[in-house]
Amino acid sequence: MKKYFALLLTLLFLGCSSGSDKPGPEPADEGKDRSVMLKALAENIIVPSYDQFKTKFDLMAEKSKAFTAKPDAQALGEFRNAWAEAYIAWERVELFDFGPAEKQTIRNFFNIYPASEAGIAANITDPTSSLEVPASYPTQGFPALDYLINGLGANDTAILAQYSTDKDAAKKLAYITRVIARMESLLGKVMSEWKGEYLNTFVSKTGLDIGSSTSLMVNGLVLHYERYIRSGKFGIPSGAMANGIPAPEKVEALYIKNMSQILAQAAHSAYVDFFNGRHAVTGEAGPGIKSYLNALGAKDSGTGKPLTESINAQFQVAAAKLGVLKPNLYEEVKTNNQAMKDTYTEMQKAVRMLKVDMTSAMSITITYTDNDGD
C-alpha cells in the first residue's frame, strides 16, 4: 500500500510540474494568428517596399530638377532612366491599395493610363488647374511623365525642342515640376501613415468583418490582380474583355515603347512575392497569406491539393505566358495578340482561385464590384 501511495504521489508531482509551463501553440494554431500575419506583412514587405520605392522616386525627382534647370540630351537621358527605374519600383507597391494608399487614392494619381494628351496640354496652359479631382487622374503620375519625356516628339531632338525653343517651353518644364511635386506629396502622406499609428491599427484589427485589416487587404489584393494586372495590362489592350476590339493604345508605358512588359512582370512578381510572404529585402518567406491559408487547411476543391499549391502553380503558368512576350506590348497587340489573350486567360484562372476559393477559405466577403462577368 505504501508503494502504491508513493507511486501515486510521484505521478501527481509529475503531472503538476508538466502543467506548470503552458505548452506553446501548435504550428497550425500559430499560423492562424492574424496579428502575426499582419505584422509580418506590414513590417517585412509593405514598409520596406515603400522605402525602396522612395529611394527610386527621390532619384527621379533629383534628375527631373536637373532636366528642368538645363533641358539637354544628357539630362533628358538621365531623367528618363530614373523615371523608368521608379516606375518599375512603383509596380511593387501599387498592390498595397488599402489603408493609407486607398485613403489618398494614390494609384489613381500615380498610374491611370493612357495619359490624356489634351488634359495635359490644358494643364500646361493653365497652371492653376486642379490636380486633385478625378478628371485629372490621366494628366499626372507616371503615364503623364511618359508622355512628357518620351511622347512629345518623334525623337529626342524634337522632344528637347519642346523644352527649349517652343513658345510654351517654360510652362512645360514647370508642369513636370508640378507633377513630381504632387506625387511627392501623396507618397509622403502614405508613407508617414504606415510609419506612424496606422501600422499599429493595421496589426490590431484582427477580425474578419468588412472593416478589418484582413478584409480590407484581401479585397484590395484581389481587386488589384483582377482589374489592374489581368484587365488593365492585358485584357483591355488585347480586346480579350468586353467588346473584343484590340486597343494597343491603352497599354502601359505607351510612349517609351520598350518597357510595358517589364512593368507587367514587376507587378506580377510583386504580387506573387506578397502572397507568399517574401521579405522585401531578404526574399525569405515568412508569415503571410500563404502560411495563413495553409494553417487553415485550405484545399483546392477540384484536386484536393493545398489551395496555396494550386494558386502558386497558376501564378507560374501566367508568369510563363507573360515572360515570353516582347518588351513592347503595343506591338504585341498589333502583331502577336493571341499571346496577349493567352496571358489574360491564364490570369483569369488565377482570379477565380483568389476571388472565390481563397476568400471562401478565409471567410472574407468581397466588397467591391466588377462588371466583367467573374
CATH 1.25.40.20 fits 30-205, yes or no: no
Contact by Cβ (8 Å): 263, 228: no
Residue indicated by cell numbers 519642346: 162
pLDDT at residue 369, as a whole number = 83
Note the pLDDT of residue 119.
Answer: 98
* Helices assigned H by DSSP within the chain: 2-20, 27-31, 34-40, 47-69, 73-90, 100-104, 106-110, 117-125, 141-150, 156-162, 169-194, 197-204, 213-223, 236-238, 260-275, 289-296, 307-323, 329-335, 337-352, 359-362
What global pTM score does this model have?
Answer: 0.91
Share of the chain above pLDDT 70, in %: 90
Give the span between the Cα atoms of 344 and 339, in whole angstroms. Answer: 9
Cell, residue 235 = 485584357
Band (pLDDT 50/70/90 cuts) for residue 371 is low
Q: What is the pLDDT of residues 154-212, one digit of tens each?
A: 999 999 999 999 999 999 999 999 999 999 999 999 999 999 999 999 999 999 999 99
Which residues, 6 or more positions from 58, have their beta carbon under 8 angstroms from its beta carbon?
none
**The pLDDT of residue 247 is above 80:** yes
259: which DSSP letter?
Answer: -
Boundaries of every domain in the chain:
30-205, 207-374
| pLDDT tens per residue, range 306-363 | 999 999 999 999 999 999 999 999 999 999 999 999 999 999 999 999 999 999 999 9
Q: What is the pLDDT of residues 44-97, one digit of tens each?
A: 999 999 999 999 999 999 999 999 999 999 999 999 999 999 999 999 999 999
- Dist CA 284 CA 185 (whole Å): 32
> For residues 199, 109, 359 and 192, what is the CA-based torsion angle, rounded to 10 degrees?
0
